[in-house]
Structure 1
Amino acid sequence: MLSILTLIAGLVVLVVAGDYLVRGAVALAEKLSIDPLIIGLTIVAFGTSAPELFVSLQAAFNGVSGIAIGNIIGSNIANVLLVLGAPALLMTINCRENGLGASLAVMIIMTLALMVMMWFGPLSRIDGAILLLMIGAYLGWQIKAARQCGLVTAPDYHDEVVDLPQQSWKTTVFIVGGLIGLPLGAWLTVDGASHIARMFGASETAIGLTIVAIGTSLPELVTSVMAAWRRSGAVAIGNVVGSNIFNIGLILGGTSVILPLDVDQRIVSIDMWVMLAAGLLVVGLAHWNIPIKKSGGLAMLAVFAIYIFSVF
């Protein structure tokens, strides 16, 4: 029971601390007059992936690669089936968004690159460096392309980040609180998840793919549900694609540069293929401009439930 409470507490701290860090960092960037394009493409995108980053780093340091990798693979699956499926119950999600095609291609390329790396063994420091170079090139290309098209400001990231602190002291408290809370939440999450895995005889990879992955995907889920509530469905799919790219490039790349990660055979045999299928589903929906209606959302949630059941 204590392990379950520890896991829940860790996930709550992660979500709250990640939200505070993003709001504080965005407020600071605006005070420093940093280009809104940079804020939207880097600070906001990184911030929503901060829970996954700290959990994967903590898991790697604890020697539980199953949680470190399962967290990312599971999050990318949850980002599609859960984070797009749930808001579709509130409103139809339009999968056509200007400029999304190139990002979808990058998501699939990075997914395939990660699959090849995992197929041939542990994720090494060289693999991590390659993934980091890919995410760096992607961000540089996005910024350059946006400016060449005359886009001087990013799409309004205030759809994703609300209630920014106005006073300098509040901004400082938000940033410091987030930086303290994220590693604390990661430690609680990984410790609780590891104990639960041993208690119920489940593998750490299974816990990472399911409970931890869903928990660290909560920021994306909340963002997408709120976007659907405000009738801004385009934010939902853009949020998912960006998060999946960051999860692979920044989080698994950064984690494996610090500590190489062993890959569970189950991930190679099953889960990475499910991640690819989920990514291709988004590509197909966007390419043929197929809206996700309530029935589609229910189907995606049903598939996700079946996948979770299959993991155990």
Structure 2
Amino acid sequence: MTLAVISVIAGLALLVWSADRFVEGAAMTARHFGMPALLIGMVVVGFGTSAPELVVSALAALQGNPGIALGNAYGSNIANIGVILGLTALLSPVTVRSGVLRSELPLLLAVTALSGWLLRDGSLTTAEGVLMLLVFALLLGWSIWRGRSGGDALGDEMGEELASHPLPLRQALFWLVAGLLLLVGSSRLLVWGAVEIASGLGVSDLVIGLTIIAIGTSLPELASAIIAARKGEHDLALGNVIGSNLFNTLGVVGLAAAIAPIAAGPEVLSRDFFVMGGMTLALFLMGFGLRRPGRINRLEGGGLLLAYGAYLTVLLRSAF
């Protein structure tokens, strides 16, 4: 058990560091090849920060631990909204100026509903996993098409962020490749330790995925969101969360199910998906805005944090 705990701590630390290097390398490489800043913000950074979830869940599915894969994705989505946006809004109320993000909020809500419908029978088959990946590919293509036009608040913030951290192309490519390799290595270490801890404590791998791994793999988004909020780059902070949750819901779960069918107990729908769906709906209501820009104020941010705390309490009580 001691070795497993050390593996989880070391794996998480290396995972967070390598994910940051990978995203920075990918973003700077894209910039060197002339990709618009808006597109980098929507695709490279928004989806790139979910690289830890993708690698961890794929490895867990390959090793016969689908509960970790599903728990990692759903738990990360809940943590992204409850902890990351909640804490970010407490530090600085988040105002949504980007029209691109306003159009992606209903998409995230629809994608969440789709995932719940596919999971209604308590399982995700390989065919359903492939379907989720196809839907994700369509959304990715749509994002690329929209991102080529530019002229959006998210693109302006992303351009300022890229300009403040220039990297030569050779160095950017190095961190792109090295970050990806380290992601894979640290993920293997993390999954092994998590499985050993679950066995030692007698809890399901789903609970481990929803807690330790989900929170750990969400740390890159947390760091990015806090830094963006302190700089006043609210759309970038929100864009990271929306992009990550879209990626987790379709890409991460879809890939894991395509590798190996996922069986989910009734508690996944009644507890975990219910909380994820509720938080996604709350994010839509706060962030979309009807006649004015959407806004997540400090009171709402505190409410998101309290909701996450209540969910975590219920989860841990059910596990032990």
Query: TM-score, normalised on structure 1?
Result: 0.91
Aligned to 2:29: 28
2:315 is equivalent to residue 311 of structure 1: yes
- 1:20 positional shift: 1.2
Letter in 2 for 1:166: P
Letter in 1 for 2:47: F
- 1:100 positional shift: 2.4
> 1:142-188 deviations in whole A, cap 9, x for unaligned?
3334556877x9444356666343151x2343122112111111111
Measured at CA, do residues 104 and 291 of structure 1 come closer, stay the same or move farther in structure 2, by a change above 3 Å? closer
> 1:92-145 deviations in whole A, cap 9, x for unaligned?
122453232321111111111111111124222221222122122222223334
Aligned to 2:194: 193
- 1:54 positional shift: 0.5
Aligned to 1:216: 217
SS at match of 1:21: helix
> 1:184-237 deviations in whole A, cap 9, x for unaligned?
111111111112222222221111111111111111111111111112222222
Contact 2:80 2:218 in 1 (8 A): yes
Query: Counterparts of 2:173 and 2:146 in 1: how far apart (Å)?
Result: 33
Q: Where in structure 2 are the equivalents of 1:63-74 lying within 5 Å?
A: 63-74=64-75
Contact 2:37 2:150 in 1 (8 A): no
Measured at CA, do residues 149 and 5 of structure 1 come closer, stay the same or move farther in structure 2, by a change above 3 Å? closer
List gaps (5 residues or longer) in structure 1.
none
Contact 1:25 1:43 in 2 (8 A): yes
Q: Where in structure 2 are the equivalents of 1:258-277 lying within 5 Å?
A: 258-277=259-278
Contact 1:206 1:311 in 2 (8 A): yes
Aligned to 1:111: 112
Aligned to 1:165: 167
Query: Counterparts of 1:160 and 1:255 in 2: how far apart (Å)?
Result: 33
Contact 1:40 1:155 in 2 (8 A): no
Q: Aligned residues: percent identity?
A: 35
Measured at CA, do residues 203 and 158 of structure 1 come closer, stay the same or move farther in structure 2, by a change above 3 Å? farther
Measured at CA, do residues 207 and 164 of structure 1 come closer, stay the same or move farther in structure 2, by a change above 3 Å? farther
List gaps (5 residues or longer) in structure 2.
none
> 1:39-70 deviations in whole A, cap 9, x for unaligned?
33322223111000011011111211111000
Contact 1:26 1:43 in 2 (8 A): yes
Aligned to 1:300: 304
Query: Counterparts of 1:258 and 1:38 in 2: how far apart (Å)?
Result: 29
Query: Counterparts of 2:148 and 2:178 in 1: how far apart (Å)?
Result: 34
Measured at CA, do residues 72 and 47 of structure 1 come closer, stay the same or move farther in structure 2, by a change above 3 Å? same
Judge which range, 15-24 or 31-40, deviates more. 31-40
Query: Counterparts of 1:36 and 1:290 in 2: how far apart (Å)?
Result: 22
Contact 1:110 1:245 in 2 (8 A): yes
> 1:231-251 deviations in whole A, cap 9, x for unaligned?
222222222111111111221
Query: Counterparts of 2:31 and 2:40 in 1: how far apart (Å)?
Result: 8
2:46 is equivalent to residue 55 of structure 1: no
Query: Counterparts of 2:181 and 2:128 in 1: how far apart (Å)?
Result: 29
Judge which range, 116-125 or 74-83, deviates more. 116-125
Letter in 1 for 2:167: P
Letter in 1 for 2:298: K
Aligned to 1:284: 285
Contact 2:122 2:266 in 1 (8 A): no
Contact 2:62 2:259 in 1 (8 A): no
Query: Counterparts of 2:169 and 2:117 in 1: how far apart (Å)?
Result: 48
Contact 1:160 1:223 in 2 (8 A): no
Query: Counterparts of 1:156 and 1:291 in 2: how far apart (Å)?
Result: 17
Query: Counterparts of 1:94 and 1:34 in 2: how far apart (Å)?
Result: 26
- 1:273 positional shift: 0.9
Query: Counterparts of 2:286 and 2:276 in 1: how far apart (Å)?
Result: 16
State the number of aligned residues.
310
